[in-house]
Homo-oligomer: A and B are copies of this chain.
């Protein structure tokens, strides 16, 4: 039936509760959002005692469903003020699910100083003082924790940025090699964890695929079908495993939608130097521990991830994804892959969301604090200023919207206080609709219209025209909310959108596992209900249609090379949530 593990940081107590009946079919984002909506007052300060950090594996996590190991982390976001869910790969979602833990709810606020670890094993959970682990970067921390608790342990942790409650701090989870690079990065959830005084959660179990399934035969058949669909689709069977997600650098650059130097152009003259192709070549040349086609969690069959080696073949950073490459690269005018990988590693170590970090760096570069293209200055900023919490480090740690405010800029690419990701909404208008209207603030994963705008997956909608973008984004936002509940990787959406037997196979798996009889339509409604829950929370927290807008300058500042502005009418944006 499942348990909720409730951790009270005011009283330093831990207790298991039965999952309430009404949450039976809630997993991942559906469960984090429901728990936040049910238990957190919308007016709560995100870093105060009344906010709660909720961590939940997906509905299918811990089974043999392919690519089902995503871990959702939710709370009221200190970055956006909205409800928030961010999810990551890594090895922990499946371990939690295998221990029958459907959600960890961290609540209250420590009265004293100091950080704790939450250590969960197969029989119990307890809080122990973090001692000298506090202040540690995530690399060393993960090494220490594996020494103490074994190399099969799942680790969810924060770096110094989270401890300092910086609103661009993310929540790290480890991969099978113990790298802390799988991040629930967005929305400052690491700051919430820091405010709770929790340095890390350690899940001590060898189990990975041990969740009971009611109808094993039916499940197996459905899982096989989904795996087949993934293997059939050209994006998931070839482009992603070969070049990783950074294959998008050249594609977006070609489309004129690669935001360059703080969104001042849609094309980066040095894009080829930091493309997925260049990255794959670097991995091949250097060899050693480097690899492409790496899996972000057990059971992943897409394997779009990578391990970037340094010149000696040692691990420099694992992984370097498209959005991180873009944020720390083209958006900062940086094309050097070693610098980009080092910046990414520093984000992983200090505990920062790579996207928000890159967008903030871009804003600071626009402000003249450091020069566009100056990778060494950016490295220094992360490694020294942010890690040590200097005034300049605090400015970066406050995110792009705050940096823009502090320096009095108008070209500040944020929505609801969150930095926009790697697709300029003027040249990829469908994603612009998602940025503007998502319940999560500027977020590409909430409704990845890039699929139809650029990749021609799920049909084609001209990225430069305002027509059809609202419907596209709406449908994707609904579908995504449902996918985010399952623990499935968002990239399964490519076959789900294009291959007709794929979506029924997911529904069949849920039915087989839980002994229910959902239809495809039920799953669509399920996505709608998740969004409604989130919208109601956001409205009570003070969000209106006035916040469902891109930054004003994108309406009048033309983006090269196409000379486009964002021209989806406000009135149409207000129709996204018309269901």
Contacts and interface: CB of A to CB of B under 8 A. Distances in A.
Interface stretch (A233-241, A401-409, A515-523): A401-409
Contact of A549 (B43, B409, B543): B43
A1 to B, nearest CB: 35
Contacts of A380: none
A309 to B, nearest CB: 35
B48 A552 contact: yes
A546 B542 contact: yes
Q: Which of A164, A369, A391 lies at the interface centre, i.e. has the most chain B CB atoms within 10 A of its CB?
A: A391
A541 interface: yes
A48 B167 contact: no
A518 to B, nearest CB: 35
Contacts of A285: none
A445 B429 CA distance: 45
Contact of A391 (B164, B391, B547): B391
A551 interface: yes
A410 B165 CA distance: 11
B395 A406 contact: yes
Contact of A50 (B391, B542, B552): B552
Contacts of A16: none
Interface in A38-92: 42-45, 47-48, 50, 78
A398 interface: yes
A541 B542 CA distance: 12
A50 B398 CA distance: 27
Nearest to A541: B546
A82 to B, nearest CB: 12
A166 interface: yes
Interface size class of A (residues with CB under 8 A): 35 or more
Contacts of A50: 552
A544 B194 CA distance: 30
A414 to B, nearest CB: 11
A394 interface: yes
B43 A546 contact: yes
Copies of this chain in its oligomeric complex: 2
B391 A395 contact: yes
Interface in A254-283: none
Interface in A313-372: 369
Contacts of A546: 42-43, 540-542
Given A48-B553, A546-B43, A546-B541, A406 B410 contact: no
A226 interface: no
Given A43-B546, A544-B542, A408 B552 contact: no
B394 A194 contact: no
Contacts of A405: 78, 167, 398, 402
Contact of A48 (B44, B78, B410, B543): B410
Contacts of A394: 395, 406-407
Contacts of A543: 542
A552 B47 contact: no
A524 interface: no
A467 interface: no
A410 B397 CA distance: 16
B408 A167 contact: yes
A392 interface: yes
Q: Lowest 3 CB-CB distances: which A-B pairs, in order?
A: A165-B408, A542-B546, A391-B392
26 contacts: A43-B546, A45-B552, A47-B410, A48-B410, A48-B552, A48-B553, A50-B552, A78-B408, A164-B408, A166-B406, A166-B408, A167-B405, A369-B391, A390-B391, A394-B395, A394-B407, A395-B395, A397-B406, A398-B402, A398-B406, A402-B402, A402-B405, A539-B544, A542-B542, A542-B543, A542-B544
Given A45-B551, A50-B552, 9 more contacts: A43-B549, A43-B552, A45-B553, A48-B553, A165-B407, A166-B408, A191-B408, A391-B391, A402-B406
